[in-house]
Structure 1
Amino acid sequence: AERFVRLLSQVAAEPDRRVGTLEVLTPTEADQVVRAWNDTAVEVGPAPLPVLFERQARRAPDAVAVVAGDVELTYAELDARANRLARVLVDAGVGPEVVVGVALARSPAWVVALLAVMKAGGAYLALDPAHPAERLAAVVDEAAPALVIAAAEVVERLGPALAGTTWLAPESPEVSARLAAVGPEELSDAERGGPLRADHAAWVLYTSGSTGRPKGVVVPHAGVAALVATFERAVGSGPGDRVAQFASPSFDVVFAEMALSLLAGAAWVLVPDEQRVGSALAAFAHRQRLTHLVIPPAVVATIPPEVGLPDGAALVVGTEEVPAGLVGRWARDRVMLNAYGPTEVTVNSTLWRCEADWDGPRLPIGRPDVNTRAYVLDAGLRPVPPGVAGELYLGGDGVARGYLHRPGLTAERFVADPFGPGGARLYRSGDLVRWRPEGTLEFLGRADHQVKIRGFRIEPGEVQAALARRPGVDAAVVVARDDLGERRLVAYVVPRPGAALDPAQLRAALAGELPDYMVPSAFVVLEALPRLASGKLDRAALPAPELSTPAGRPARTPAEELLGELFAEVLGRPRVGVDQSFFDLGGHSLAAMRLVARIRAGFGVELPLAELFVHPTVAELAGRLHEGAGPDGSAVDVLLPLRSGGRLPPLFCVHPLFGLAWPYAGLVQHLGGERPLYGLQARGLGDPAQLPGSLDAMAADYLERVRAIQARGPYHLLGWSFGGLVAHTMATQLQAAGEDVGLLALVDAYPLNAAERSSDEGDDEDAALRFLAGLAGLGVPAERGEALDRGEVLAALRRRGGLLAAVDERTVTAMVRVAANAARLMREASHVRFDGDVVFFAATADKAGTSISPRRWERFLGGAIECHDVACTHVAMTDPGPLAAWGPILDEKLRKTETQFEMTERNTT
């Protein structure tokens, strides 16, 4: 009533005032939400992270600092190693504000490098070596580190993608000698060129951007001391404690773990990769006597309650909304904290001590941390009353500097603090929250996850909360999807152990609680919600709902049953039919690698990857496993059926330089379900004696196989790289024979110019092997005289992973031979004119500064070139991301071409 009277008084006094500017809060409420609930100031003496660590090293030098398997480092040993490496870095030019990349796996060497960078004054740039080379290259290109610390094998794998970057391998003889030559004592300010200051950059962490471009958050040291004080007050840690090191090197939770361990005098215990979930993690925690764990709620949910965690071990969960049911199981007899905080505010911003008997629909995220301020504001940056949703703005010691080299985005997300001292800033989190009556915050969802369905604005978090209240529901997420013909809500639910969820019952329950427009159109029951490496929900990996039951018979054998489960797991589907093709269901070459790994684990059988391309259904693959799963040679046949059924004219795809058509498997999911898809592969893969003598001979040979499938035109042809030259030649031969060519699609394929034809390439097989080595990430010497071992290339392919990791040495030898022959055919080719149009897909990421252009085809075409740019490199054109960009365009062009041919036929009959 007091608020209402206050509003009416303002309207009466200023009738022309905009309604949105009226003050809703009473003075008492305004003081409460702005000042009283933000009374967090504590004198902690801001200090750089290395200083906080060195205090602990001086206090207890012989205490254990890092544990990794059988390796233990004391604080004195860790400090000495970090000091030595810091001196080497200073000699290399590192100092305050200099960015240094660290591309090391979780290990003692990684901990040493992280501390050394900061001791030298530099800013730690996290480069997780498990990430794809392309992403790391993008990060390094933008962050421009002065140098990157990396293990030799990482340099070997990523070197070509990150050319021009200075690398330092700590275990190399050269660096080892330099480390031995410098002292282990703490660095002086004179050595590093000035004192370490709290306002210096401490780390740069890259997070996903809404535009798809990662953004680097620059975090200074200023908030680290407050972070340590926050955890000390909330959970306590110190000498004798053992804290799990669980987080990825590129995830900011690493620094929360450090605040509890190295900055508090406790031991930091690295959790092995193979023991990071379920009973294995629980057993590790007991064996290592862990006292503190900072892990995502999804991981906590995998730990069997009967195994549990060590008595009294503190549990810090966060990174996403925590299901209330999880708290009931884990918050008894231990400290369990619900931690909230964006990367942009030094890891953590609020904490709530979980109550085991909590019965509310959502857990609070708590109160602001030490020296942190939290404001719930409306669009005009005015505080909203308790209980009213608003956007969370965060201020205080921990606010990051901004985004590296992104001033526009920094200005958008970091704004002046209207409630703080002069010059203070707030981070605009994008999270919707509200104040609870007792002064804790409640997380409601993302502001940018609000959706409009049939004209109604909906916050999916409200629907999620209603689902979470249903018996048997352990976790739920609700999203709007556009792949159902129109925008609709889809609910993903995870049952509690032993519970069975019926989507019809869930729908009926929600219909009795929510307006009809808020009831999801589809419900998908999952074993677990998909997660990113950080533990956060991977919204992009939520599977599209299946609106019909998979066609075909049910599984008849245990092998078919298990294979069906593995197919469904890899493809992110609730179930699959035994006669449905892996590639029809959305599988691609990288997913195929994951399936092969799951089959290896589930069956104890080493299935050749090629088998999946030839036998892509559960039923066929089960039969092959029963027979012994040895390679039958069909995966390197000239004709590779990727989808053989369908009423539409097929698309024939010609192999690139090395002869395999496997990379085209990912196209299946982007073409209409009635479109057969065939790959054409080099004859020389199976029999070296069958290498063709000319491009014309190769094209004629492939057309024999094409006509055996499709007797008359119009024919649809596609070729990537060298395959484009063959497809063009096939098209001209078809026209010469009086046949119609429906669509000719060229994928980043270019005829050689005169200079390229006349250049002396030397040994083609050697050049082909070196090119293959480059694809494998193997650095190769430029000097032609230095031999390259095929076994070495094969080993590099397997280390790198991906599609070519599955080939054996015989196939590598054949691929090199095929590529060398293809290089000769390209130089000797005499292209003739194709009387028609071409659809061209051009890779744009590696063409800068070159003369390569689709216009090279103009003199060999009688029609137009319709060019579509794809933001990737030449070799990445058939990776899932680029395929998703050009595959649908190809499908549309095929359909339009067929419509035009049908109209022409009707007009001529």
Structure 2
Amino acid sequence: MTTVQASADRPSADAADHRLDVLLLERWERDPGLPAIVSGETVLTVGELRDRVLRTAAALRAHGVRAGDRVVIHHERSVEFVVAVLGAMFAGAAHAALGVDDPPQRILRAVQDCAPRAVLTNSALRDRFSDVPGLPDVPDVQGLPDLVVLTDEQCATYPPTPEPVRADASADDPVAVIYTSGSTGRPKASLISHRALVSRITALQTTHRMDERDRMMHHTVCTFDMHLGELYWPLLAGATVVIAAPGRHRDADHLAELIRDRGITTVYFGVSQLELFLLTRDPAERYDGLRQVLTGGEVLGADLVRRFHSRSTASLTNIYGPSECTIYSTAWVCPRDPGLDTVLIGPAIQDTELWILDENGTPVADGEPGELYIGGAGVALGYLNRPELTAERFVTSLAVSPDGRLYRSGDLVRARPDGALEFLGRADRQVKIRGIRIEPGEIEETAKRCTGVRQAAVVAHGSGPEKRLAAFVVPENGVAPDSLPSSVREALRTWLPPYMVPSAIEVTDELPLTPNGKLDRRLLETWAAKRSAEAAESVPARNMDADADADADADADADADTDTDTDTDMDLDVESVVSEVWCEVLQVSAVGRDDDFFDLGGDSFKVLRVVETLRERLRADIPLAALLLEPTVADFSEELRRIMAHGPTD
């Protein structure tokens, strides 16, 4: 029997064909006095947001931005970020949001690839775009001598006059460009249309309705397509967007405060972030003010579902879908079942069809595993400037859907009798580290550009929160192997975001091959796991008796002479304690003063373990944000000294 999922509840053709600019203007004209955005102490009404957005759109048009162009958004999470995203859309362009914390090389490379007409940023960041050369290794990407860089202050001088929607405007015009890791060493960008995004917002509103009484938190990083849902969904529903402070999207204390004090009713958490949130907060603390929580990005475990349900009356929905299909394609409301053993990703959402096919493109038998193909209005237009990759992943002329386009997800699933899907893993090399999609091939190609590297291979090992990346490099003739790992790490840090820098880099004389001459990745994964275990065993065990004696001696010394000046000792000891704890938690034999916690394999769970351990050993009230904001040994240690001397800042 054919295995197919198809939505029976599709929105009307009229609704699917609407554009976001038309829908937002209609919504804003109804209730200009409602609060639209809350950020810190700033409250922006619908009317005020409308004027700022239209001023930005006018500024872009005055500087030559036209329909079909692209505009780069380079802001921290803020009111200005939201205004820039919407302003680009009202100017007829598609926005491409680039993370402000990404390495400059990666930002410039994305700008070169995107070839925007303009950049929207602030005065502090505008110099990053003063010189954007072409890409010598990508012939179709040229320099951008006419690139316009506009700041908030410049946009504010233009009149907030809406322009009529163009006669040739289409629901299939691009509205967003979402960059993800690419297997060739070049990030790939999905082009999302108005039709696709309107379809997804309609689906969300149909099953998880919001209105003027609701507030949704915006805290997702701008390189993840869920930021589109966090902005457009509440604004179109008449709800309020509450913005988390820049740099604090991992800070459970900050997020809990927003949920409690700002009346958040709807929030999306990545699976790892939801886990950290519950682990960090007081187990007795409840979140009954929340009405609905969405989660996804990684495999959701039944135990986490039960723990969430024990802390909140809110519904918990597991959503799944690659960015190439716009936010999500399936959804499953997790039942409040104490005997739950498997969390599903659900059936198709409205306006979406799912096919489970074998390697020949034939539907599998009922209940059998196969690769998931996704069709419907949410499918992206393709990859920007990547026709060959677009043809490979966005397939047409399949027998199961001869008149449609299907996205080949690379995910293995099987269908349950009720139509809900069970996620089984990846069919290709793509991996997820802390919920972020990573192509090891991109890291490999980047590593090969490093001085002294002849070959490189990158694999992932471990599972769940312990999954990490390991790189194996073969040196060029005459290159000293001892110095290569550190130089490669430093080079990768300049080209890649921290989550893509392998936690381990090992030099090998040659890469292993399978009997048929292909790279033996399975053996490399075994090597990586073994090296990780050996590194963990090499970390010196703490002598707890000696620690107790030392503590007793210290207390006795303090009692004997309360005037003793120990500031110098504290300065020396804090850094050594931090290094020791990092080695224990990260399972590495040594760390340097300038090493970044997250570059070494740290994640949200390890942040919690480090802070809890240091609270005990240093006897200090250390907030989680201290490590999140100061992730190097030297800077984190300096922050701890300040906290121990003056207490944590509010």
Q: Same fold (TM over 0.5)?
A: yes
Aligned equivalent of 1:357: 337
Aligned match for 2:152, one of 168, 171, 195: 171
Q: Does 1:323 align with 2:304?
A: no
Larger relative contact order (CA 8 Å, sep ≥ 6): 2
Cα distance change of structure 1 residues 425 and 551 upon mapping to structure 2, 3 Å threshold: closer
Aligned equivalent of 1:69: 40
In the alignment, residue 264 of structure 1 is paired with which amino acid?
A
Aligned equivalent of 1:285: 259
Cα distance change of structure 1 residues 569 and 67 upon mapping to structure 2, 3 Å threshold: farther
Cα displacement string for residues 306-349 of structure 1 (whole angstroms, at most 9, x for unaligned residues):
22334343111011111221110223621111011111011111
- d(CA) in 2 for partners of 1:597, 1:586: 10
Q: Does 1:398 align with 2:385?
A: no
Cα distance change of structure 1 residues 194 and 92 upon mapping to structure 2, 3 Å threshold: farther
Please give the secondary structure, in 1, of the residue aligned with 2:171.
coil
Cα displacement string for residues 701-734 of structure 1 (whole angstroms, at most 9, x for unaligned residues):
xxxxxxxxxxxxxxxxxxxxxxxxxxxxxxxxxx
- d(CA) in 2 for partners of 1:363, 1:334: 17
In the alignment, residue 582 of structure 1 is paired with which amino acid?
G
- On the 8 A contact 1:568/1:574 being kept in 2, the answer is no
- On the 8 A contact 2:259/2:290 being kept in 1, the answer is no
Cα distance change of structure 1 residues 315 and 568 upon mapping to structure 2, 3 Å threshold: farther
- d(CA) in 2 for partners of 1:384, 1:125: 38
The structural deviation recorded for 1:275 is: 4.3
Please give the secondary structure, in 1, of the residue aligned with 2:228.
helix
In the alignment, residue 263 of structure 1 is paired with which amino acid?
L
- d(CA) in 1 for partners of 2:595, 2:498: 25
Aligned equivalent of 1:136: 107
- d(CA) in 2 for partners of 1:258, 1:83: 17
Cα distance change of structure 1 residues 358 and 120 upon mapping to structure 2, 3 Å threshold: farther
Aligned equivalent of 2:637: 599
- On the 8 A contact 1:378/1:391 being kept in 2, the answer is yes
Identity in percent: 28
- On the 8 A contact 1:291/1:310 being kept in 2, the answer is no
The structural deviation recorded for 1:81 is: 1.5
Cα distance change of structure 1 residues 421 and 54 upon mapping to structure 2, 3 Å threshold: farther
- On the 8 A contact 1:222/1:398 being kept in 2, the answer is yes
Q: Does 1:372 align with 2:352?
A: yes
- d(CA) in 2 for partners of 1:435, 1:381: 17
Aligned equivalent of 1:41: 10
- On the 8 A contact 2:16/2:195 being kept in 1, the answer is no
Please give the secondary structure, in 1, of the residue aligned with 2:130.
helix
Aligned equivalent of 1:382: 362
- d(CA) in 2 for partners of 1:232, 1:56: 14
- d(CA) in 1 for partners of 2:260, 2:592: 41
The structural deviation recorded for 1:212 is: 2.6
Larger radius of gyration: 1
Aligned equivalent of 2:284: 306
The structural deviation recorded for 1:259 is: 4.0
Deviates more, 1:367-376 or 1:352-361: 352-361
- d(CA) in 2 for partners of 1:586, 1:594: 4
- On the 8 A contact 2:315/2:334 being kept in 1, the answer is yes
In the alignment, residue 100 of structure 1 is paired with which amino acid?
V
Aligned equivalent of 1:148: 119
The structural deviation recorded for 1:366 is: 0.6
The structural deviation recorded for 1:439 is: 0.7
Please give the secondary structure, in 2, of the residue aligned with 1:261.
helix
Kindly report which structure 2 residues correspond to 1:14-33, keeping only aligned pairs within 5 A, or say none. Answer: 29-30=1-2, 33=3
Cα displacement string for residues 829-878 of structure 1 (whole angstroms, at most 9, x for unaligned residues):
xxxxxxxxxxxxxxxxxxxxxxxxxxxxxxxxxxxxxxxxxxxxxxxxxx
- d(CA) in 1 for partners of 2:130, 2:226: 28
In the alignment, residue 252 of structure 2 is paired with which amino acid?
G
Cα distance change of structure 1 residues 583 and 266 upon mapping to structure 2, 3 Å threshold: closer
The structural deviation recorded for 1:88 is: 1.9
- On the 8 A contact 2:112/2:132 being kept in 1, the answer is no
Aligned equivalent of 1:108: 79
Q: Does 1:294 align with 2:281?
A: no
Aligned equivalent of 2:480: none
Please give the secondary structure, in 1, of the residue aligned with 2:353.
strand
- d(CA) in 2 for partners of 1:433, 1:407: 27
Kindly report which structure 2 residues correspond to 1:401-440, keeping only aligned pairs within 5 A, or say none. Answer: 401-416=381-396, 418=398, 423-440=403-420
Aligned match for 1:88, one of 59, 78, 81: 59
- On the 8 A contact 2:75/2:100 being kept in 1, the answer is yes
- On the 8 A contact 1:66/1:73 being kept in 2, the answer is yes
Aligned equivalent of 2:321: 341
Aligned equivalent of 1:246: 219
- d(CA) in 2 for partners of 1:375, 1:439: 11
The structural deviation recorded for 1:447 is: 0.8
- d(CA) in 2 for partners of 1:391, 1:194: 41
In the alignment, residue 108 of structure 2 is paired with which amino acid?
A
- On the 8 A contact 2:592/2:633 being kept in 1, the answer is no
Please give the secondary structure, in 2, of the residue aligned with 1:438.
coil
- d(CA) in 1 for partners of 2:129, 2:460: 41
Q: Does 1:55 align with 2:26?
A: yes
The count of aligned residue pairs is 497
Aligned match for 1:567, one of 579, 584, 594: 579
- d(CA) in 2 for partners of 1:416, 1:388: 24
Please give the secondary structure, in 2, of the residue aligned with 1:395.
strand
- On the 8 A contact 2:218/2:242 being kept in 1, the answer is yes
Cα distance change of structure 1 residues 387 and 135 upon mapping to structure 2, 3 Å threshold: same
- d(CA) in 1 for partners of 2:164, 2:206: 32
Structure 1 length normalisation: TM-score?
0.50
Aligned equivalent of 2:592: 582
- On the 8 A contact 2:575/2:634 being kept in 1, the answer is no
The structural deviation recorded for 1:76 is: 1.5
In the alignment, residue 42 of structure 1 is paired with which amino acid?
P
Cα displacement string for residues 501-560 of structure 1 (whole angstroms, at most 9, x for unaligned residues):
xxxxxxxxxxxxxxxxxxxxxxxxxxxxxxxxxx99879448851326336674656879
Cα displacement string for residues 259-287 of structure 1 (whole angstroms, at most 9, x for unaligned residues):
43112110011011354332331122100
The structural deviation recorded for 1:430 is: 0.7
In the alignment, residue 93 of structure 2 is paired with which amino acid?
G
Aligned equivalent of 1:215: 188
Kindly report which structure 2 residues correspond to 1:441-840, keeping only aligned pairs within 5 A, or say none. Answer: 441-449=421-429, 491-492=462-463, 540-541=502-503, 545-547=532-534, 549-550=537-538, 554=542, 556=547, 563=575, 566-567=578-579, 574-575=586-587, 580=590, 582=592, 594-604=632-642
- Structure 1 gap ranges (5+): 1-28, 451-459, 462-478, 496-534, 607-624, 626-909
The structural deviation recorded for 1:41 is: 2.7
Cα distance change of structure 1 residues 222 and 536 upon mapping to structure 2, 3 Å threshold: farther
Structure 2 length normalisation: TM-score?
0.69
- On the 8 A contact 2:296/2:320 being kept in 1, the answer is yes
Once superposed, what is the RMSD of the aligned Cα atoms? 3.7
The structural deviation recorded for 1:399 is: 0.7
In the alignment, residue 192 of structure 2 is paired with which amino acid?
V
- On the 8 A contact 1:206/1:215 being kept in 2, the answer is yes
In the alignment, residue 301 of structure 1 is paired with which amino acid?
E
Please give the secondary structure, in 2, of the residue aligned with 1:339.
strand
The structural deviation recorded for 1:596 is: 1.6
- d(CA) in 2 for partners of 1:147, 1:198: 23
Please give the secondary structure, in 2, of the residue aligned with 1:169.
strand
In the alignment, residue 399 of structure 1 is paired with which amino acid?
V
Cα distance change of structure 1 residues 259 and 536 upon mapping to structure 2, 3 Å threshold: farther
- On the 8 A contact 2:373/2:408 being kept in 1, the answer is yes
Please give the secondary structure, in 2, of the residue aligned with 1:362.
coil
- On the 8 A contact 1:285/1:310 being kept in 2, the answer is no
In the alignment, residue 4 of structure 2 is paired with which amino acid?
V
Aligned match for 1:255, one of 206, 225, 228: 228
In the alignment, residue 257 of structure 2 is paired with which amino acid?
A
